[in-house]
Structure formats: structure tokens, C-alpha cells
Chain A
Amino acid sequence: ALCAVSGATFLYHDYCIIGAGPAGLQAAYFLQRAGRHYIVFERSHAPGSFFALYPRHRKLISINKQYTGKSNSEFNLRHDWNSLLSHDPRLLFRRYSRDFFPDADTMVRYLEDFASLLKLRVQYNTAIIHVTLEKNEQAWNGHYFVLTDQDRKNYKCSSLLVAAGMWVPNVVNFPGSEYVEGYETVSTNPEDFTGQTVLILGRGNSAFETAENILGVTNFIHMVSRSRVRLSWATHYVGDLRAINNGLLDTYQLKSLDGLLEGDLEDLAIVKDKKGKLHITLRFYLENRNISAGIDSITLPQDELDNFATRAPYDRVIRCLGWKFDFSIYNRSLRMMPGKGNIKKYPQIKASYESRGTRGLFVLGTASHSVDFRKSAGGFIHGFRYTTRAVHRLLENRHHGVPWPSTAYPVTQLTNAIIKRVNEASGLYQMFSVLADIILLRENATAFEYLEEFPIGVLAELEMHTGRKARNGLFVIIMEYGRNFSGADKDVFYYNRAVGEAQHAWQSNFLHPVIYYYRSLPTEREMRLRPPEWPLPRPDAIHHIVEDFLTDWTAPNAHILPLRRFLENCLSTDLRHFFAESCFLFAFTRQKLPPSCQQGYVGMQGLLGSRELREHAARAGLLQDYTHTHSAGDRAPDSHHGSQEQLMTDPGVPVHPLQHLVNAKDE
């Protein structure tokens, strides 16, 4: 579409997306499905240009699980970290690769297919080099975004979705840093490292990946970084060091010359001797000295401390320090500011993924990870595919009056709705503690609306963002690890780490569903002042579903029963199911009926139940059998009495076989 504003010609789009990587394509998919007017700009000739280069050693560390033993497509996405969300079953990553850790080229091919099969509107070879604002009262956000590409062509958009990723390498500057090779360019051929001594700066997955590649041919590898190594299986954060790359930890701890050191890279200096060997020294020694005077005039630490750890000269120093967001293309008026502290590589955004500086600018994908950095999966495909969908839903509501999708159910379906979601929902599972399902209660709690995967950071603004009303209380369903269970220094294998009993569910350590109940929507102030370590403000009631070894929360007694009791007590009602016969009795003997009778039986949808089932219920003492107790009024409570006992002695959980199994394992 062409439109002429103030003389200049602009190509106008409602939505502009910068970057045709996974996040950009994912956003394009949702906009396309909603029939929105959008365009994606990609500087390269094909999608996923980052993956065309990185990881250098080509092995993706995102899991591509072929089999889960289940056909549930939603559940299976919990273990598919590479696919983008779409309605097309051809676009499941497992159809592209059989490798558990697939090759990066496959990702590039997948993204190409995703864009072409879904006919996404991507404009390739278009590098946006400048973004600025144009004030306009009529615009959605009071301004248009004006984008300029490398050919000085201008594009105008109402809403800007930045999915440009993080591709500017982090560089440290210290004396001698010119001798350092970057991860971007370093050779990936192990033969180039034969018999060399290597120092690697950085302690992330790229550093370990680089080390892994040359571990077998080097003399030894040393690795320096400021912070200690963080193992993802201890931190439960996929951005930390993954076990697939950690060969160097093995050789270090098994005394095979390789080693890890902690130190601030800013204090470092490297000097090259005449033979071309690189020596580590400290910036401190170099101050007030003339480096040009030559290596011999420079003090090395070992001159004073003759057992200095990195006194051995290195053949190569490699920098693997990750990437940061490209802030350079945004005009100052957009106020795209880096975050503070450990999130300074990311632009500042709100929990709604909208820029703090500019209304209408949303950051998607890896660059949006500041929201859940080192917590959840928002920086990775298997996380941001959901947050992107959430942003799209916010936009649909904000600009097109399409409220957040929801399903209305009668209150009798409350337990079911929750159980269904916590067992299969992948967004809740991948974006644990970030995205939440919301249950909005209707008046008198006879019905409810179910909203999926809402960003809990903006819970206080739920009504504004979703177009739904939360006047009668709400449940928030999220998944959490146990507090204090995750951490770089935590032993995640200690005995008794797993909780088995529903009554101690709050102490569950592994990822498990948690349901918060609020009588009224928390305010922004309450959100801000929430207790530390709490993802949400203190609720009126909380329920933990006990962690489960199989992540299968469908056990009637351990999972569903305590949940039902929680919901009943929050709503002050009785959510049990009843056979039609019980409802019949209640209809004649009580003025009010339990919800399941009211909505089921009285609505002619009663459960008559087979003879066997009714007998079981009678034996359990939960249904009175009147067929044999015509006049003796005393028999029934008697049988109730007996069967209660039976019920209690009936072993619901096979403790003995399990114990047996464990013993066998131990031996």
C-alpha cells in the first residue's frame, strides 16, 4: 500500500516486523492467520540468518524429541523445542530431523519452509538501518514508526514488532585484546588446534561448545570468566551450561590438565612474546608503562607470584562471550534503553513485551528475554513462540477489539478444565512462572471463562489487555519449581527431594502446577510489592498439585481430589459428581442441589451409571443401596461404616511393589 504523507512516499503497513528469524516468522504467522496487514523485513536473502552462522559447530542444543509415547500434539510440544506454532502438522520439527540435537542447517531449512508453506509476507534483503517516530494524532499509538532500509527506502507502520534477535557479539576491551579471536570467526576445524594451548574467555554454551570441539587435540584448555559455571540441570534454566557440551568439566575434575578459573576479564591483559605465545598479565601491571618497550619490560604475575595459575603461555585466546541487542538503529526518540545489571544486553521492556520507551513497539524473541532472564524459556524458541502468541493476542484486543480468546464453562467443569491444561498445555510448561492460564469467575461462581497463557507480569492490567472482566474473582494457574530448589550451587539430587504426598505438595521441588486464588484482581501496587521469590502477590488461597514423576497429574486421589477440595473451598460449594439416583434423592429432600446435579441431572444429563459402578459406590459407602434395606433403617449407616473402613484399608497406591523396585535398583 502506498500512501503519501507530507510529500514523501511511504509504504504503509499496520504491522512491521524486523527480522525473519523464528520470532519474526512466528509473529507473522499469527498476524497472517488473523488477516492483519503486516510485513516482515529480513536483511538476509533467507529466513533465520543467525542460524545460518550459529552455532559455529552446528549442533543445536534444543531438544527434538521424536517419541513421548503420547499422541497428544499439545503435550508433545512440551518436548519439542524447535518447532514454531502453526496449524500445519507438516511443520513439526521432528519431520525435519531425527537427531535429538539437530543440525543448525536443518533449522534454516525449517524456517525457510515455515515462511514459504504458510505464505508469510517476508521482504528479504531489506536491512532496516534506522527507525524513527512520526507524531500523528490518528495513529494507533499517537505516532507512526518510520523505518529506513539500506537503500534509503522508507516504510511506515502503526505497530513495530522487533524480532531482530541478539547478534552483536559481546566484546571486552583490555590491553592485548587484539590477540583474541572471536567465536564468530574462530576456526571450527580441530586440526587447526593440534598441540596448542588454548584459553577461552567466557563460560556459556558457546565457550563450552568451542572447547568440546578441540578437547581431544589441544595440550590443554583453560577457561576464564567472572562468574562460576552454572549447570542448567542445577539451575533449571536452559540458557546455562547444558550437559551435552560439558566435556571440559569432566576432564577438569578428572585431572586431565584442562581447567576453569574465575576472574574479571576487565582486569586482564595479554601480551605476546617474540615466539608468538600469549601471556596473561594484569592490566594493573601495564599502567604507566610503555608497552612498545617490549615484552621483557612488562611484569608478569608469575614474577611476583611464582605459582600464578595462568602462567603457562597460550597459543590462542578465544572470546565466547555471547551477543547483545543492536541498539544502534533506533532513533533517540524511541528511547530504546539497555536494561540494568545482568540484563544490559537486552532492551528495556515491560512484562507485556512492549518497549518502556515507546508505545506500540514490542520486542519479540530472544531480545525479549529480559522479562524472564535466567528463569524461564522466553529467550528460546520453545519459550518465545508462546510469548509471541501472547503479544499477538494483546494486539488483537488493543487494536482490533478482539478480546483474548476464552471458553466459557459451567462450574462443574472447573476441575476438569484445570486438569486438562496442566497435563497437556505446553505454553504453561515451557514458560513456567511467566505465562499463566486465567480462570475468570462469573457471578455466583456458577460458570467461568478460561483464558490461556496470559503473561502474569501484567496480571493487574488483565482487564485492559484481554477485554474480559474479572469482577468475581479469579484463579491463576502456573507451573513452578520448588523455591530454593534451583541454583548453580544447589544439589538437585539430594535424598528426599521428591514429595509424594498431596498434603505436602507445597514442598514439591520439581516443576508442578500451582493455582492462585484471588477474590479480586491484584492491583499494580500489589504486583510490585509481592514477596520476593513469589511470581505473584500473596493470594487469598493457594494450591500446589504435588509434583509427579511422570508429569501426569491425573491421579484421582493424589492430584484431582485435593484440587477439587481447594476449588470447593475457594468457591464455597460442593463440586462432587453424583449419580442420577443421588440427585433424585436430593431433588426430593433438599431445596438446593449441588452444582453437578443442577447442571447435569436436572438438565436431563444425569449419569445413571452401570450396575457395577453403583455397586462399587455403594461398597465404598458413598451411595446408599436401598434395594435390600426396605424397612430396616439401621442397615445403611452400618454398611457405610464398614465400607469406610474398607476404603481406608484399600491400598490406593501400591507401596510394596514400588519399594521392591527401589530396592532392586539400589542393589
Chain B
Amino acid sequence: MSAQKDRWVSSLVFLLFCACSILRSGSASLQQEPSPQHYFSGLEAGKTSLAFFTPTVSPGAQPFLEQIESSAEALQDYGISVVKVNCPKEDVSRYCGKENALRKAFLFRGIRLIREFPTDALFDVNSIVANVLFALLFNEVKYVETLADFENIENMLKGKSNMVFAYVPATGTAEHRAVMEAAFVYGTIHQFVLTTEAALLKATSHDDPDVSSAWLLFCHCQRATEPAQPCRRTALAQPLTLLNIHRHLKLMGAPLVTEVAEDPEKISTVHLQLGLPLVFILSQTETHEADRRTAEFVAWQLLGKAGVALLSRDLVDLNVLHRSNVALKTPDEGMPIQYLVLEDTDEVITLVEDKNKVKQIQEDEQEEEEDEDEQENNNQDIQDDQVVEAVSRDKKRELPLEQIRVLTEENFHPSLQEAAQTVVLFYASWEAMSLAVLRSYSEVASLLKGTPGVVLSRVNCWDWPGLCSQENVTQFPTLRIYKEGQQSVTYGGMWAPEELSSFILLSQVSCPLKLATMEEAEGYLRGEFPSELSSQQHPSLLGVFSTATSEAREAFEEAGNILSGHVRMGMYFEDDSLALSQKYSVSPPALLLARSRGRSVESIPLSKHSVQDMLQMIRYELLDIFPEITVPNLPQYLQLGKPFLILFSAGDISQGESKEMLKVAKGRAQQAFVACWLNLKKTPVGHGILRTYFSTTPSLPVLLWVNLHAGGQVFRFPSEQPITEMNILSWLEKLQAGLEIPSSTLSEEDWKPPLPAYDFLQMMEPPVPELSPQPGHTPAQHPPKGPGGDTARGDTATREEPSQESTAEEVGSPGRGLRGTAPRLAARDKQQGKRHSEL
């Protein structure tokens, strides 16, 4: 809750009814009168009092008396005194004499009796206050029963004043009391109308209302100058409490649209004070009238939810994007004003409503958390690691692991001998990542079921630590492919079934694969050779070398070893390699790249011959020019360390957009950024990204420039412009020139511990100022600490009752909600049992 709101709440409470809602003992303000005569003689004109007459002994009315005593203070706030008049035994006057008069309370103004209440109408403080005020405010609060009555009043008020219409399911309720208390304050400003008729409620609200809960409408009749014009109505969305009604009336009383001509950062309105956001409609002189109408329209929609102000751009020097048309100021202190470019008024409304909802939920959560804070130390013991939690929720499901061989210290080496290629997953059965990967691995097993030459196996390092350390497995999980007579290859890709199985399949063929004939080489580029991989969709990379260029070839081979399983690499260095490369108009050493079947073969001359350069080049060449960004492939593009020009699309992008974007990507700026697109259908987490940038999902497609690595600014391509190469390039130019203002900036926040840890150090011992020398001469300074602090060494008298009795309690006392072990639970049972037997 904001500080402003706090202030407001406290001032309200202070001003209105300092103590009315706090139930103190009412007896302090309850007057006692010895006799009716005495009471009536003391009544002042214009003073209101509630009196009840009681014989000196009246056991029957006791509960009623308690309630009326406790309401005395509340009523005192409204200038009503509560008087208990003792009836002397012999008194037979009007109020004391009759038996039934003693079961009533009487409201007097001066000496005039206004109303008498049967005690069963005054069952609690709420009903007493509600009924008394209701009687008192007879003129201010009209009670209506029919729609006709209601409309009559409404018509009468048009052009004059506003109306507050309340429905309460019954009189004497807390809601009734709230309405009456509000009427006491606002009764002279607005006309209050009350009903208990469910039919009337139904007639005045749009959808099917809940007749069991109270309901309050503010009818703006003062604005309705024409008799035919209906009064606009604004319902109170919160429960009917005095605070909420007060807030609502205050909001209704505020000007609909505030005209602002100063720095919006400095503006404060009643809305902000009440914890509601303020929407600025940015206006220009030329469009002022239209903007004003828009503002009023929005204001009506947002009445009670947010304030609306019209900010004239011409009068205020704003350092914001020229296109921005709306600004949002939230009541949270320190939150900067958000400047937005919105398409229509609906967007403004959703923006505010979503904010409110999120805030509401956050507040609820905060309250919840605070509640829990009191009960427990935070949520420290609640799992907040998504992987660990997911795995432990899934632990009961049995995994289909039959296809995967279990290897042990004994059979590990023999097993590797048996197959040409063995895939081994090293994992730890207690570790969450391992278990998550094991799930994917079991899917791999079913994907690759029946593939010849592939043996899947696993080693649980919790069972066989010696084997795992011997195989130099330091991280869980680790996946390796062991090939007969060769060094094993460790998997370094995404933990997903598709990626894993592709790695396993690609690893079947040596990398790079040495091609012997021209036919093989051509078949390789077409993806037909070798047949094991013909079902795979990988790009084919062929290194062509003349026999002389061994340096490049060695580097290529080395790179192949490193990329084994991840890239499909072939190598041709027969005598006719020159012929092959010339076919693709390049001379050896060169790379030929067939990205996908049926597409043309690209040729890249090889100039650098170091392994690192080769690796980097191959990785770079394999990247797409205008890729669709997905969760698995993002890291490849992140590694380029460039800003992203990314098009978010609801589904597949249109051919036109694709063509234009491709042109941009291929253009001269290619080296400077990654042009890509994201399919929200395929990568729904993209919604999360857009929501972070814009609060709501903007209209799609949306083209963004994201400075991922430097500064973190996000720029939005003007939505009114069509996505064409020309427009994009000129926008990028402006962007580079600093003429555009970012619509969002990536958070720079560090990743801090999500929750505090248990402070055992504090619990164990408050800090010792200067540590005392160790060997034994510190008797007084250190009283027994921790459990079992048994000071009475040798003192047999005090040890008669074993000291562990007290120890047990010490240990037990903090342990609310025992979760623990058998001995503890047993102890608890025992203790209870003991107590019972003593009873």
C-alpha cells in the first residue's frame, strides 16, 4: 500500500470517527440516571438521546444492555447520548410502569420522543447505530420500495444534485450502518436513497445481481440537465464499508477530467492520494477539443478506478516520444510515469484495469505473505525452484526405462565392448536436473527404439561414485557416447528428446565423414548419403580440399571432432576435388553448404586455417539469416552478442513481411544485428516478453529492436507504418541517431537470493564480542547453550529429575506443527497420554 493511501486512511479515520469502529467498553460514555424525573428534567432542546428504562433488577434484558452499552461510544460521535434510566420500584409512570416499555429503547430529541425501538431490533452495535441514525436522518435518507418511487426522486434531482442509492438486504446490518454513517456526513450534499427490496435492486443493475449482498450506486443526476437524459450511474465495486463509501463519494465528487499544464511528475490528484492511477491524455492545441472528448469518454469508463487528466503538450516540455498519446502515473512512489502509444480508448481501459487487478492480487499476496510471516518464518520452506518442484511432483510416475540399460561398476566396461556405440547418461538419482533429463532420455529411448547400432544406457552416480569419478563426471547429468577404440564424446546441447536423439544419430557417422568419390560427395550434399542420416534434416557441410592444403584440412578435421554429433560434416580431398569445387565456382580449400534439401548449395572459400577460426566460421555459417527464434535456438544467436531486430507474430508471418525482413537482414547492416522473428503460437513465452515490455500484449505483429547486450533498451517500430524494408531502415537510422525513445528498458536487477536463509548463527548464540581463550577457563561467560544444557554437573540433588525433562521442552517448544521424526511424534503422544492419565 502506498504511503499516500496510508495517510489518507489515517486522516479519514481520525477526522470522522476517531474511535467509532474500535469497540472499547462503552460504559465510560454511558450515562446513568437515578430516575425518569431526573432524566426528563435534564434534557436539553436539540440534544438527542437514546434512553432505556430499567428496573433496578432486570435479569432478562442483560444481553441487550451489553450491546447498548458498547454502542454508546459510537453514538456519542453523532452527538447522541445513551442514557440508562433506573426505575425506582414504586414508579408507575409511562416509561417505567408498563412492562413492555421496559423492553424498548426510546430516542428523544430534546424532550420530544422521535422513535421507540423494540429491543429485538437492537441486537448489536451495528443495528443500534444503523437504526438510530436511520430514525434521526429520516429526511436525509429516503426509503423507497418501488421503481416508480426511485425514478421520481431521480427525476426530481436532475440538474440539481446527485443521488446515492443503496440496497441493503436487511436493515440493522453492518452495511446498513455504513450507509447511514455516510449519510450522516454526506446527507446534505447528496440525496441518499435506501431500499431493502430485491426487485428494485434487479431493476437498477445491469446483470443479475446477488440479492444477498449490499450494493451502492452513485447517480450523477446533477449533470443530467434534460429531463429525458438519464442519470449516469457508477456502482461501488468494493464491499459496502464506511471507508469504501467515503472513498467512492470522494472520487465521484472529483472533477471528471483535470486539465493539467505542468510536469505530470509533480501532479497529484485525489485519485493518486486514494491509491488509484492517473491517466494522462496527451493533447495538442489543434486537437484539444477532440482530446477533451476522448478524455471525458475515458473518464466515464474509468470512474472510480482511475483519474483522467488532460495534459497539454504545448504547455509542458515533455521529453517523450512524439507519438506517445497516453501516460500512466501509478500511486506507487518512485515509479516513473509510463508513456505509451495506444491505438484506442479500450486499450487505455484494459491497461488500467489490468494494472488494478495485478495490484489487487499483489496486495492480497502481500497480505498473505505477511500473515504467514507471523505464523512461520516466511515461505522459506516452500520450494521455489521450478525444476525441483516439478520433478518432485512427478516422482510417483514410473518412467518407461526398460529400453535403457543400467550399467554398474562391474558391467560398465564389458558393456562398452559389446556395442559399436554406447550412449551413457551419468546422473544422480537424488538430483533434480538429472531426474528431469532422465525423463527426456526415456523419450529418446522410445524415439530411437529399433534404430540399429544404438544402445542407450545409464549410470547412477549415487550408486557408483567410483565409476563416475573414474570417467571424470563432475556434473550431473552428463551424457557421453562411447565408441569402440575412440575417445568418448560428451554431449553439449539442450536437454530435450529431439536434440538428444539427433545428437545420437549424427554421432553414428564419423565427423567429418571422409567421402571417397564424386558421387558420394554429390549425394552427401543432397542429403542422400550416408543412408543412416538420410532421415535427418541437418544442413550438410562439405569441406573440399586439394591434397596439398593439409593445414586447412587438419583444422577442419579437428573442428569436426569438436562439433561431432552437432553438425553434419563431410570432407572430400580426392584428386578431382578441384572439379567438384569449381562446379560451385570456388577453389579449394572451400566449404560447400547445403542448408536443406532442394535448396541451392552455398560455397565459402576457406582463408583462415586455425581450428578456432574454423569452428567460429562453421558455427556462424550454420546460422540462418532470418531465423525463427525458438527456445532451443536462441542461445546460438545470443552468442553473436548483437542487438535483435525481432518481429513478434501471432502465427506464421506473412510472405510480404518475411520478404521485407529478409531484405533487411541481407542488407548492409547484416553484421550489426540479428534479424529474426518469433511465432507466438509456437513460442508462447513470447507473450510474457511482450507483457514485460508493454504491460499488455500489443496488436500483432509487432517489430522490435532489442538491445540485449548493451543498455537493454527496447524500441517499437511505429505500428501505423507498414513493415517494409524502406520503413524499417529509416526507422533504424533514426534509432541509431538517438531520435527514438525506448518504450521499455530491460531490468538491470541482479539475481539475489529469492528468500533469506535460516539464521542459525543468531539462534545458536548471540554474537560473542571478544572470543574467550579456548581451553576451559570461561565458566561464567557461557551459560549452557543449546539443547541439553546441563549445568548441574555433579549436583545430584537437582539431577534427581533428569535434566532432559527441561531439555525436551526446550527442543520441543519451537517445533510447532511437528513434521518430524518418529521419536518426536512419539514423545508428543506420550506427553499427551501422561497428561490424560493425571487427569
Contact = CB atoms under 8 A, between A and B. Distances in A.
Contacts of B826: 495, 662, 665-666
B464 A71 contact: yes
Interface in A475-528: 482-485, 487, 489-491, 494-507, 509, 526, 528
7 contacts: A490-B788, A494-B805, A507-B814, A538-B771, A577-B387, A589-B692, A607-B387
B657 interface: no
Contacts of B394: 612-613, 616
Contacts of B397: 612
Interface stretch (B127-135, B296-304, B778-786): B778-786
B787 A485 contact: yes
Interface in A420-473: 420, 423-424
Given A484-B787, A573-B752, A72 B464 contact: yes
B382 A647 contact: yes
B425 to A, nearest CB: 14
Given A424-B465, A556-B432, A604-B636, A495 B773 contact: no
Contacts of B830: 495, 666
A529 B635 contact: no
Contact of A641 (B354, B361, B390): B361
Contacts of A491: 802, 804
A607 B697 CA distance: 27
Contact of A560 (B388, B497, B639, B695): B388
Given A505-B760, A529-B773, A498 B749 contact: no
A576 B685 CA distance: 19
Interface string B436-459: 110110010000000000000000
A627 B773 contact: no
B764 interface: yes
A562 B817 CA distance: 18
Contact of B361 (A70, A490, A637): A637
B815 A501 contact: yes
Interface stretch (B76-84, B488-496, B527-535): B488-496
Given A506-B760, A629-B687, A666-B826, A604 B493 contact: yes
B685 A500 contact: no
B381 A507 contact: no
Contacts of B631: 580-581, 584, 606, 608
B697 A633 contact: yes
Contacts of A582: 386
B752 A614 contact: no
Interface in B348-391: 354, 357-358, 361-362, 364-365, 376-377, 380-391
Given A495-B808, A580-B631, A70 B358 contact: no
Which of A490, A570, A592, A626 has the most chain B CB atoms closer than 10 A to its own CB?
A626
A502 B771 contact: no
B495 A608 contact: yes
A419 B465 CA distance: 13
B763 A588 contact: no
A616 B687 CA distance: 20
Given A485-B787, A641-B364, A666-B829, A592 B750 contact: yes
Nearest to A564: B385
B811 A562 contact: no
B757 interface: yes
Interface string B372-416: 000011001111111111111110010000000000110000000
A482 B786 contact: yes
A607 B495 contact: yes
Interface residues of B, number: 136
Interface of B: 354, 357-358, 361-362, 364-365, 376-377, 380-394, 397, 408-409, 428, 430-433, 436-437, 439-440, 443, 462-466, 474-476, 492-497, 499, 631-632, 634-636, 638-639, 680, 683-689, 691-693, 695-697, 706, 708, 712, 746-761, 763-765, 767-768, 771-774, 776, 778, 782, 784-790, 793, 802, 804-805, 807-809, 811-812, 814-815, 817-827, 829-831
Interface stretch (A216-224, A355-363, A594-602): A594-602
Nearest to B692: A589
Contacts of B436: 607, 609-610, 613
Contacts of B387: 576-579, 607, 609, 613, 617
A591 B746 contact: yes
Contact of B748 (A541, A591, A633, A661): A591
Contacts of A595: 751
Interface of A: 70-74, 407, 409-410, 413, 416, 419-420, 423-424, 482-485, 487, 489-491, 494-507, 509, 526, 528-532, 537-539, 541-544, 549, 554, 556-558, 560-562, 564-566, 568-570, 572-574, 576-582, 584-585, 587-595, 601-610, 612-614, 616-617, 619-620, 622-627, 629-631, 633-634, 637-638, 641, 644, 647-648, 652-653, 655, 658-659, 661-663, 665-666
Nearest to B688: A585
Contact of A500 (B782, B788, B790, B820): B820
Which of B462, B463, B635 has the most chain A CB atoms closer than 10 A to its own CB?
B635
Contacts of B767: 538
Given A526-B771, A532-B774, A542-B760, 17 more contacts: A423-B462, A483-B788, A484-B790, A495-B831, A496-B812, A499-B820, A500-B824, A544-B760, A557-B381, A565-B756, A572-B752, A591-B747, A591-B748, A608-B631, A616-B394, A622-B384, A648-B382
Given A607-B387, A637-B361, A616 B393 contact: yes
A626 B753 contact: no
Contacts of B685: 581, 584-585, 624, 626
Nearest to B368: A644
A604 B747 contact: no
A569 B409 CA distance: 38
Contacts of B683: 584
B757 A507 contact: no
Contact of B818 (A501, A530, A638): A501
B758 A662 contact: no
Which of A483, A485, A573 has the most chain B CB atoms closer than 10 A to its own CB?
A483
B753 A569 contact: yes
B495 A605 contact: yes
Contacts of A424: 462, 465
Contacts of B390: 579, 609, 613-614, 616-617, 620, 622-623
Contacts of A623: 386, 390
A538 B774 CA distance: 12
Given A491-B804, A506-B764, A591 B786 contact: no
Which of A497, A528, A538, A663 has the most chain B CB atoms closer than 10 A to its own CB?
A497
Given A72-B465, A529-B772, A565-B753, A605 B761 contact: no
Nearest to B493: A604
Contacts of B771: 526, 529-531, 537-538
A644 B782 CA distance: 44
Contacts of A616: 389-391, 393-394
B760 A662 contact: no
Contacts of A542: 760-761, 764
Contacts of B636: 604
A610 B765 CA distance: 46
Which of B409, B474, B492 has the most chain A CB atoms closer than 10 A to its own CB?
B474
A541 B697 CA distance: 45
Contacts of A496: 808-809, 811-812, 815, 823-824, 827
A655 B818 CA distance: 9
Contacts of B785: 483-484
A484 B788 contact: yes
Contact of A507 (B430, B463, B786): B786
A658 B385 contact: no
Contacts of B827: 495-496
A358 to B, nearest CB: 24
Nearest to A497: B823
Contacts of B691: 633
B811 A507 contact: yes
Contacts of A619: 393
